[in-house]
Amino acid sequence: MDGSSEKMRIEMDSLAERAYEHYKYYQVEEALSIYRRAYDIAAVIEDREKMMKYRQWEGHCLHHLERFREASSVLMTLSQTVAIAPHEYFSSVVDQVDIAIKLPLALPKIKSLLHEAYRIMREYSLQTSKSVVLIQESNLFRMRYDYKRALEKALEALASHHNDAKTRYNKLVYYRGILDNLTSLNSVPEIKVWLLELQECDTDRTNSKEIIFLGFSSEVAILEGKAIEAFDYAKQCIIQERKITYDSFSSLRLVVKAGIMADRLNEIRSFLAEMLSLRRTECKNRRYQIYLYCGDYYTALFRQKREVQYINCAKKYYNRARNIGIEIDSLFDCNGRQMEISQRLEYVDKLSE
């Protein structure tokens, strides 16, 4: 290797380290830009393994920025590189699974991607990465409203994570998966146990841990009917989340949900408007949730003011959610969203009689 190439390699490695530091602290746009620069250098010095590594990170960053289709086109370029960089190819497949669940794609396509992830894991002895596939299986069950099986997979993923020597996912991902499903199952005593476990969790992402704790403390208060406490926790959660990340949708959803329960409709109006501004996202399930909570907000407003315009707005948003929900349920071969919306539409019909 000549002196020029060596200098370029040193610069490339330095850029990759900087990019990861940005990524670790949720500065994903910056990470994306720097990984692309590192890739360009790798291409010049013809380091194919590093090219694949930085291309995979480019796709991963695009994925986190919710530029899903752009991410997919980048990640699919790695399909012929498995022999050169099996771990990078494996990671690209796991990212594609997550994207396929979020868009979503049809269930057979998602299962095919999961099968491919397991195949690569077996053939290239990547067993130490099993937890990332398990948590995606949990996410898939959750999106199909099968919360018990989703919880089982999330618990299995956390147990596997303890043995994983090389995984990009922080353990907080697994705690969130467990708590999400326990919340959907209304399992308050178990949620409280896992919140204590969360507090004992050893992680360098203390801000993220606090956000998860505040968010699920709000969910517990909602399940226990403590509306004001739930709203207070939700507000604290979104304040903390906005300090560290570009994407606070989960906290937005929670503050709207808790605010409706606490009858703080004026106070959450700006949060609802912010949520509605995100409706053009590529993620259909997020669009579904946005319209669902808009419907909930206007239903609550009708109960408060008894003006027919609000019940009409509620029906409008519920019907939009239903249209998207039918499409998602069809892709996932389930009916959870349709049942959810039907119950709400039946309620508003009775309310307006």
The tens digit of pLDDT for each residue in 292-325 reads 999 999 999 999 999 999 999 999 999 999 999 9
Q: How far apart are CA 224 and CA 213, in angstroms?
A: 16
Q: How far apart are CA 275 and CA 250, in angstroms?
A: 10
**pLDDT tens-digit series, residues 242-272:** 888 767 899 999 999 999 999 999 999 999 9
pLDDT band at 129 (very low <50, low <70, confident <90, very high): confident
* Per-residue pLDDT, 1: 55
Share of the chain above pLDDT 70, in %: 97
Q: How far apart are CA 286 and CA 248, in angstroms?
A: 12
Give the pTM. Answer: 0.92
Residue predicted with more confidence, 92 or 1: 92
**pLDDT tens-digit series, residues 76-100:** 988 777 777 888 899 999 999 999 9
* pLDDT of 165 over the 70 cut: no
DSSP type of residue 342: H
Summarize the confidence of residues 38-59 as an average pLDDT.
94
* Per-residue pLDDT, 246: 62
Q: Highest-confidence range of 46-55, 73-82, 156-165, 266-275, by mean pLDDT? A: 266-275
Q: Which of 24-38, 74-88, 124-138 has the lowest mean pLDDT?
A: 74-88
Return all residues near 61 (Cβ < 8 A) that are at least 6 apart: 23, 28, 29, 31, 32, 35
| Displacement of CA 105 from its chain's centroid (Å) | 16
Q: Which of 53-62, 139-148, 168-177 has the lowest mean pLDDT?
A: 168-177
Task: Please name the residue that has the structure tokens 């999400």.
Answer: 180
Amino acid at 315: K
Domain spans of the chain, in order of start: 204-271, 279-353
